[in-house]
Amino acid sequence: MKERRERQNHFGGPIFVSILLHAALAAALLWGVEFTMSDPKPSGPIVQAVVIDPQIVEQQARQIREQRERAAKLEQQRLDKLRREADQLEKNRRAEEERIRKLKEQQARDAKAAREAEAALKKQQQEQKAAEARAAKEQQRIAELEAQRKAQEDALRKAEAARKAKEAEAAKAEQARIAKQAAAEKAEKERIAREKAAAEAKEKARKEREAAEKAEQERIAKEKAAKAAAEKARKEKARLEQLERERKEQEAALDDIFSGLETESSQNSAAQQRYIDDEIGRFSAIYTQMIQSKLLKDEYLLGKSCVVNIQLLPTGSDMMLKNVAVVSGDARVCAATKSAVTQVGSFPMSKEASVNDKLRNINLTVQLD
């Protein structure tokens, strides 16, 4: 919309010039009729007419058409870039879906392995309980043997030979008990190791499940981003089509204007100066907007203004800042404005040398609403 208003302001000057030229021509014709009827004395200053060169008019029209064509080409390139970005986002979304699918398959395999490990652990626990029951029975048997051994020790006082035989039997039973106890301890260690492996498998499955959920959330976010990019591209295409229709309408109006100008034999020098003033006003508005975009949004600055003088140096395609000075205004607003001016970097320049001469040293009023 801002570009459209600037174009309308740009075309407003030539239209106004054309109207003035037609009015001047009509006045000249009427004045000529009066001279043929009588010979009155001139009552005011004589307006000096300037002859316009049709080649210059045609050159200006050609430059304006070239500028519009370049702008349309840049807009089309930007739209193509948006389309490429949307296609890339769609490819990324499909690749992400495939990765999540594979991750879910792996998660299912890991869950199956965890279930199998858990079943093996239950079986081992059952075997361990059976082993513990056997060990308890063995302990009871050992206790019985110990009682028998004590009884035998009492009997040793009666028969030494019988005692020695019973001691040998008790020693053998003790060795068997120690061996069974070692086996029970080994089984316990194996059970702990299996439980640890099962716990690690469950933890791994949990982490992979969380990773899959996070990946799914990222996929949804990327899918939303792709849809937003597609919607943005669609709106941009509609905007470009609207701009193209407006460009064609403005081009037709401009062709009509220049067609009328080419048939005129003179123009008013004041109209040319007004065109220059309009150009200066248009570029001043552009410069002011560029400076305002660099200002920090502070509530204190709202409603306050500052007048600064900026001096620019042409660099060929644009202008660079030479100096900035405060003319008047609020101290804090002026300090922020000077800082914003230095951040702009480069300022656009007009195709008219006379306009650029005035833009090299101008005063601007900067205000935050």
**Whole-angstrom distance, CA of residue 71 vs CA of residue 313:** 25
**Whole-angstrom distance, CA of residue 56 vs CA of residue 61:** 9
What are 110's two structure tokens? 């890991």
Q: Please check the confidence at residue 35 and state whether its pLDDT lies above 60.
A: no
**Stretch 302-313: mean pLDDT:** 92
The CB density around residue 312, as the number of other CB atoms within 10 Å, is: 21
Q: Which of 30-34, 291-295, 314-318 has the lowest mean pLDDT?
A: 30-34
**Whole-angstrom distance, CA of residue 82 vs CA of residue 238:** 13
Q: Please check the confidence at residue 11 and state whether its pLDDT lies above 60.
A: no
Contacts of residue 343, Cβ cutoff 8 Å, sequence gap at least 6: 294
What pLDDT was estimated at residue 364? Answer: 94
Contacts of residue 295, Cβ cutoff 8 Å, sequence gap at least 6: 301, 336, 337, 340, 366, 368
- pTM of the predicted protein model: 0.31
Q: Please check the confidence at residue 171 and state whether its pLDDT lies above 80.
A: yes
Cβ atoms 232, 82 nearer than 8 A: yes
What pLDDT was estimated at residue 54? Answer: 84
What pLDDT was estimated at residue 12? Answer: 57
**Whole-angstrom distance, CA of residue 347 vs CA of residue 294:** 13
Q: Torsion-angle region of residue 303: left (phi > 0), alpha (psi -120 to 50) or beta?
A: left
Question: Is pLDDT larger for residue 221 or for residue 21?
Answer: 221
Angle between helical axes of 2-37 and 160-263 (0-180°, round to 10): 0
CATH 3.30.1150.10 is right for the domain spanning 295-368: yes
**How is the chain split into domains, by residue range?**
58-159+175-253, 295-368
**Whole-angstrom distance, CA of residue 173 vs CA of residue 169:** 6
pLDDT digits (tens, 9 = 90+) for 238-278: 887 888 888 888 878 877 776 766 666 566 678 788 889 99
CA angle 17, 19, 23 (to 5 degrees): 115
**Stretch 42-70: mean pLDDT:** 76
What pLDDT was estimated at residue 307? Answer: 95
**Stretch 102-124: mean pLDDT:** 87
